[in-house]
Structure 1
Amino acid sequence: MRTKICGITSYEDAMVAVDAGADALGFVFYEKSPRFLTREKAKNIIQKLPPFVEKVALFVNVDAQTVNATCKEVGATLAQIHFEADAAFYEALKIPHIKVIRAQKKEDVLQYADEYRLVDAYCEAYGGAGKQLNAEWFEGVECSKIILAGGLTPDNIQALKKYGFYAFDVSSGVEISYGKKDAAKVREFIHNAH
């Protein structure tokens, strides 16, 4: 099972995740988030990372030019689009991207079924705020292209592995405080996912 540790705000936390076996790290470029990073800080972390780690830049309510420019400047390898965007927006992107579904009901998890996508719990603020989705929504659903996020912790992912998700994405479930990761929880989460 692949894992992404999101909301990285320091090189130290990034390397804890990488050394524990994380496949991807998430960097938040949404100013209202407590895990927000400036381009300069993100670039300083990303340029020191080892190879073969996906560097994911998370965006909310920006235009495609901002996504392209930010990813290029900081060295991100994938854009995570955490808002509803039209076809013209996606056509203008010059970087690989993943759409986020902020699920409010079972039918929502079926959106973009032919694409790899991230499914998170809906809440007014962007990001699931540690809110977990109803696991029953995934009964009988083809989940091999779903990256599951929202309310995940080292303790609850074992029970979710049976659905065959592509990956797990965690942020608050492995934190001491906003943007500061708990090294032991990060290691436990990745161990349990694998």
Structure 2
Amino acid sequence: MPVRIKICGLRTAQDVAAAVACGADDIGLVFFDRSPRHLTLDDAAELALTVPVGIRKVALTVDADDATLDALLARVPIDLLQLHGHETPDRVQEIRQGTGIPVMKAVGIAEAADLDELDAYMAVCEQVLVDAKPPRGGVLPGGNGLAFDWTLLEGRSWPVPWMLAGGLRPSNVAEAIRLTGAPQVDVSSGVESAPGVKDPDMIRDFCAAVRGV
């Protein structure tokens, strides 16, 4: 099976067009006001209309309460919720049951012991995002351009689909896939010319590197 590609943090119709043209499978929309990739609900609703049928629309939220999620889902057509905060397994299950939307939980990894946290989330969501832990004192839970030691994932398998994130870019994504066996990859800052500004050439090169593995 081809490796699935998610381009996250898209903000314009041109971003979406570039990602789709290069073969991206998932479009990530960020709803976190401290991120340079943050979208208002109105902007996200308009942007979602430019996403072709068959491309999965993923909403990244951080510790969102029920009212925030309800407002988001009432306004923007979303296929998958990406929970990128400190949501507990109980909260993940509550969101999944309350919204009826499939959920992907992000888990930050810095050392082998962090992998144990994945098991609890795999019991309550459709898939997990294995990401690098944010830097100490950082304000963004993801999209920091940081990688972790990919050899920690060598030879591992899990009962639900998983996606690799954290410091991926055109020059290293092929190596990351070979080391980890990742069936899905997620990129944001690795295809940007500035924070929140996607570069179509970098998106093209990233997708080509993935497809070339």
TM tier, smaller: over 0.9
Find 2:157's aligned residue among 142, 157, 178.
Answer: 142
Find 1:106's aligned residue among 98, 105, 112.
Answer: 112
Q: Which amino acid in structure 1 is aligned with residue 86 of structure 2?
A: E
| Kept after mapping to 1: 8 A contact 2:62/2:86 | no
Q: TM-score, normalised by structure 1?
A: 0.92
Q: Could you say which residue in structure 2 is the equivalent of 1:96?
A: 102
Q: Could you say which residue in structure 1 is the equivalent of 2:171?
A: 155
Find 1:177's aligned residue among 194, 199, 202.
Answer: 194
| 1:122-150 CA-partner distances (Å, limit 9, x unpaired) | 11331141000111111221168320111
| CA drift at 1:108 | 2.1
Find 1:122's aligned residue among 133, 142, 146.
Answer: 133
Distance in 2 (alpha carbons) for counterparts of 1:109 and 1:51: 35
Distance 1:121 1:35, change over 3 A: same
Q: Which amino acid in structure 2 is aligned with residue 122 of structure 1?
A: K
Q: Could you say which residue in structure 2 is the equivalent of 1:44?
A: 46
Distance in 1 (alpha carbons) for counterparts of 2:164 and 2:53: 24
| Kept after mapping to 2: 8 A contact 1:158/1:193 | yes
SS at match of 2:58: strand
Q: TM-score, normalised by structure 2?
A: 0.85
| Kept after mapping to 2: 8 A contact 1:121/1:128 | no
Q: Which amino acid in structure 2 is aligned with residue 168 of structure 1?
A: V
SS at match of 1:152: coil
Q: Could you say which residue in structure 2 is the equivalent of 1:16?
A: 18
Structure 2 unaligned segments of length 5 or more: list them: none
Q: Which amino acid in structure 1 is aligned with residue 16 of structure 2?
A: A
Structure 1 unaligned segments of length 5 or more: list them: none
| CA drift at 1:169 | 0.3
| CA drift at 1:69 | 2.9
| 1:139-174 CA-partner distances (Å, limit 9, x unpaired) | 221168320111000010111222221211000000
Distance in 2 (alpha carbons) for counterparts of 1:104 and 1:12: 34
Distance in 1 (alpha carbons) for counterparts of 2:103 and 2:71: 14
| Kept after mapping to 1: 8 A contact 2:45/2:75 | yes
